[in-house]
Homo-oligomer: A and B are copies of this chain.
Amino acid sequence: MSEPREPLHTVLRSPSKEVVMGADKPFVVIGERINPTGRRIFQQQLRDGDLSAIERDVKAQVEGGADVLDINMGVPLTDEPELLVKAIKLAQSLTDLPICIDSSVVEALEAGLEAYEGRALVNSITAEDERMEQVLPLVKKYDAAIIALPNDADEIPMEADKRVVLTEKIVRVATQEYGIAIEDIVIDPLAMPIGADPTVGRTALDTMLAISQRWGLNMTCGASNVSFGMPGRHAINATWLPMAMTVGMTSAIMDARTPQIVEAVRAADLLLGNDEWGMNWIAAHRARQAAAAAAGSTT
Contact = CB atoms under 8 A, between A and B. Distances in A.
A260 to B, nearest CB: 9
A198 B240 contact: no
Interface residues of A, number: 48
Interface in A259-277: 263-264, 267-268, 270-273, 275-277
A60 B283 CA distance: 34
A194 interface: yes
B199 A273 contact: yes
Contacts of A230: 270, 278, 281-282
B198 A236 contact: no
Majority secondary structure, A binding face: helix
A268 to B, nearest CB: 5
Q: For the complex formed by this chain, how many copies does it contain in all?
A: 2
A83 B273 CA distance: 42
Interface of A: 1-2, 160-161, 164, 194-195, 198-199, 201-202, 205-206, 209-210, 213-214, 226, 230-232, 235-236, 238-240, 242-243, 245-247, 263-264, 267-268, 270-273, 275-278, 281-282, 285-286, 288
